[in-house]
Amino acid sequence: MNGRLMELAGRTRGFMPAEEGLALHQLGLEASPSHPMLEVGGYCGLSALYLGSAAQETGSVLFSVDHHRGSEENQAGWEHHDPELVDARTGRMDSLPFFRRTIELGGLEAHVFAVVGASVEVAAAWATPLSLLFIDGGHGEEPAMADYEGWSPRLVPGAFLAIHDVFPDPVDGGQAPFHVFTRARADGFVEGGAAGSLRWLRAPS
């Protein structure tokens, strides 16, 4: 990932340290370009920079699925609320303009495509096989597991499943992503590695 994009990543809103982002970028480089990649949870485009730049290098594409109204933890009164993302006209969260601007500044518009909608509904209508799935949407138990159940069947054999904010110890963070990770292992996904709170597995053959 070039220095210009790293600099842009450093000033883009998000919750992914560079170590984790670079690991995600590497997974994107290793994913087969024969099938697209997809992330659940685009927010302001930070993870899409890492995956999108990998797609640019390999000739692949990334679909970023997000309703852009913010997860529960992004709402007013919660820890990760950012008032600058509130649409003054409606009073609702709207990260889509920030996402689009990030992708534009990164020169990645030919490789990163925003799919604006709720993950579960989009997954139900999705038919294209995927080479990589990155789950980083709602961190509550129900939405996190619904993202896994809706999207993991779209992975081709050997594809990557990456999950953000996996904390085995509840002292370190919420447990829903960890439960998704353990569910994936029980379903036959093969553990691949970790960087910070990012964990990844391979889809069973």
Lowest mean pLDDT segment, chosen from 62-71, 96-105, 108-117, 191-200: 62-71
* 67 catalytic per annotation: no
Task: Name residue 162's beta-bridge partners.
Answer: 134, 200
Sign of the dihedral defined by the CA atoms of residues 202, 58, 10, 104, in that order:
negative
pLDDT category of residue 90 using cuts at 50, 70 and 90: confident
pLDDT of residue 93: 87
* pTM, to two decimals: 0.93
Assign 3-state DSSP to the chain and report helix, strand, coil percentages, each to 5: 40, 20, 40
Q: Where are the alpha helices (DSSP H) in the chain?
A: 3-10, 18-30, 46-58, 96-105, 119-125, 141-151, 176-186
Q: What is the mean pLDDT of residues 80-90?
A: 75
Per-residue model confidence (pLDDT) at position 91: 75
Catalytic residue among 35, 67, 139, 164: 139
Cα separation of 98 and 96, whole Å? Answer: 5
- pLDDT bracket for residue 169 (50, 70, 90): very high
Could you give the CA distance from residue 23 to residue 202 in angstroms, rounded to a whole number? 15
Cross-strand bridge partners of residue 39: 64, 134
| CA 18 – CA 137 distance, rounded (Å) | 19
